[in-house]
Amino acid sequence: MWLFLLFIGVPIIEIALFIQVGGVIGLWPTLAIVVLTAFLGTSLMRAQGIMTLNRLQEALATGGNPTDPMAQGAMILVAGVLLLTPGFFTDAIGFALLIPPVRVALMRWIAARLDGSGVFFATSTGGSRGRPDKNDAIDGDYTVLNEDRADRPRGSSGWTKR
């Protein structure tokens, strides 16, 4: 239901903003602003995307946690799509997603919503949750399913050829 409201609400907001801004500054300046924000947003998205890709490659090369750069990259991609979509409302959300503290706050909000759902989520600022540390001991129980396999000598797989 919320997705339906989003697909109906966003275009209504965009149309209303186009009418309001166009009534104040005119048609051609309004269209010029839309085109200018698309170009500006694309160049900002490209620069931040390259920086995030470098952070991802560094994390992978050093064996670090790549989830933060991947989440940042996904948000930058969404920002780019919103900035390429004509409209003032989508541009405002797209530019907001290009601000790193906004992305961090959004990732924390998403992490809080996913907390306890069994989904692993990590950020460079908030630590990781849902996965044990390398030095943690994990207690567990086991059951031998096939007793006769336990008596076989080492190296015997128990498989027979037919």
- What was the pLDDT predicted at 33? 92
Question: What pLDDT is stored for residue 144 in this prediction?
Answer: 77
Helix (H) / strand (E) containing 93 = helix 88-97
pTM: 0.65
The interaxial angle of helices 88-97 and 100-114, nearest 10 deg, is 90
C-beta separation of 64 from 22 below 8 A: no
pLDDT reading at 97 higher than 60:
yes
| Confidence grade of residue 127 (pLDDT, cut at 50, 70, 90) | very low
Cα separation of 151 and 103, whole Å?
57
Quick one: pLDDT at residue 143?
78
Q: What is d(CA 43, CA 15) in angstroms, rounded to the nearest whole number? A: 26
* Residue 80 reports pLDDT greater than 60: yes
What pLDDT, on a 0 to 100 scale, did the predictor assign at position 116?
58
Let me know the angle formed at the C-alpha of 133 by 128 and 134, rounded to the nearest 5 degrees. Answer: 140
Per domain, the residue ranges of the chain are 36-126
pLDDT reading at 121 higher than 90: no
Q: Which pLDDT score is estimated for 131?
A: 56
Average pLDDT of the residues in 63-90: 89
Q: Quote the percentage of the chain above a pLDDT of 70.
A: 75
Predicted confidence (pLDDT) per residue in 16-68, tens digit: 999 999 999 999 999 999 899 989 988 888 898 899 999 999 988 988 888 88
